[in-house]
Structure 1
Amino acid sequence: MQSEEEDFEQRLERSSRVLAQALAWAQEHHPEAGTYRQAAFGNAVQSLVTGVSGGYGGPSVREHAVTLALAGDGFTAQADTDRGVMNFLVQDRRVPLPGTWDFERACQFAESICFGAITDIHRRAWSCHREAHFDDDPEDLNALYDRADD
């Protein structure tokens, strides 16, 4: 029988392999995209496939948007806590849970969110957090701040 530590080490190793595979996929399919977007894609795919995220920093607004997209026809809610506002995601059961996706399907799901134009899903993710992280794409922040001023 495998110990919890050995199980954790195997899960971490698999997660690192998926992260590297996702970054390579991003560099091959979107070589023109900047490092910010490629890293967000890697983290998002890693999370969808393994349930673990954060290998390349984050979370950026694009990673938050991928998570928000998992709600599908579900919904999000906010609640005040003693540590501030928490955002809850009630997922549509037709959408697979993080950690259960196969690699190609995860890439297809995250691709347009991580490499496409800023859309309503990004603005919804932004409205939940409203704070810039060091690994948000400056172009994304400009688009989100400009839109927020409207």
Structure 2
Amino acid sequence: MSWANQNYPEESIQLKAAFANSVAYLVTGLNGGYGGPSLREHLVSWTVETAGKASPGSWTFEKATAFSAPLCFSPTAKFLGRLAEIQEVEACFDDDPEDLLALRESRQGRSPLPSPEIQEIINSWLSGDYKKAIALTNLYSRRSGLRFCKGINRDGSPCGKVLAPQAKGDYCLRHRHQARKRLSMPPTS
């Protein structure tokens, strides 16, 4: 945090915290510290994953600082599309107010109504036709390139949460225990 305060004194506390958490994550491999995870922290971790960089926990402070600073302190417009994508699929906290304002303004032209494909999935869930909802979700997943959790809620409805690109497996954190159950189930004929 002191490096951020010294080199970016005019930036918001949220961006400085995202930077400090990101550097700590890259150097130690551990998350946490100054709140979050924020949009900018997710931006750093997504960029590490997609760029094929060294694994978190193996970076030097200098390399982590050089990598994280542009992602955390550049103007929102530089990463607006990626930040919007992150906001759609990740739980984010302690975000920079300017990031949130830019994202809100960029979405003003978007329709608040779901597409007809999504509406059909929603209608299937609401009517209790879960097999149809799952089939439509899988079809939409293949067409859109998005991955959805395959977990089943306690009421029998499908989870349907969008998984982050770097997520491993087919289940969100809440339903990951179901992956083990599915592997141990006897085959059905």
Distance 1:35 1:57, change over 3 A: same
**Mean Cα deviation higher: 118-127 or 136-145:** 118-127
**Mean Cα deviation higher: 99-108 or 133-142:** 133-142
Q: TM-score, normalised by structure 1?
A: 0.65
What RMSD over aligned residues (CA atoms) do the two structures have, in Å? 1.9
Which residues of 2 match residues 1-150 of structure 1 at below 5 A? 23-73=1-51, 92=52, 95-119=53-77, 121-130=79-88, 133-150=92-109
How many residues end up aligned between the 2 structures? 108
Distance 1:132 1:97, change over 3 A: closer
The amino acid across from 2:31 in the alignment is S
Distance 1:122 1:65, change over 3 A: farther
Q: TM-score, normalised by structure 2?
A: 0.52
Secondary structure in structure 2 of the residue aligned to 1:99: coil
Identity percentage of aligned residues: 43
Flag the structure with larger Rg. 2
Runs ≥4 residues deviating over 6 A? none
Unaligned runs of 5+ in 2: 110-189
**Mean Cα deviation higher: 51-60 or 127-136:** 127-136
Does the aligned pair in 2 maintain the 1:62–1:122 contact within 8 Å? no
**Mean Cα deviation higher: 39-48 or 122-131:** 122-131
Secondary structure in structure 2 of the residue aligned to 1:53: coil
User: Which deviations, in whole Å up to 9, do the C-alpha atoms of 1:98-138 show, x marking residues without a partner?
Assistant: 01000011000000111111246453243243377441011
Between the two structures, name the one with larger relative contact order (CA 8 Å, sep ≥ 6).
1
| Structure 1 or 2: more strand by fraction | 1
Secondary structure in structure 2 of the residue aligned to 1:70: helix
The amino acid across from 2:102 in the alignment is A
Unaligned runs of 5+ in 1: 1-22, 74-91
> Structure 1: how far apart are the matches of 2:93 and 2:27?
25
> Structure 2: how far apart are the matches of 1:52 and 1:122?
26
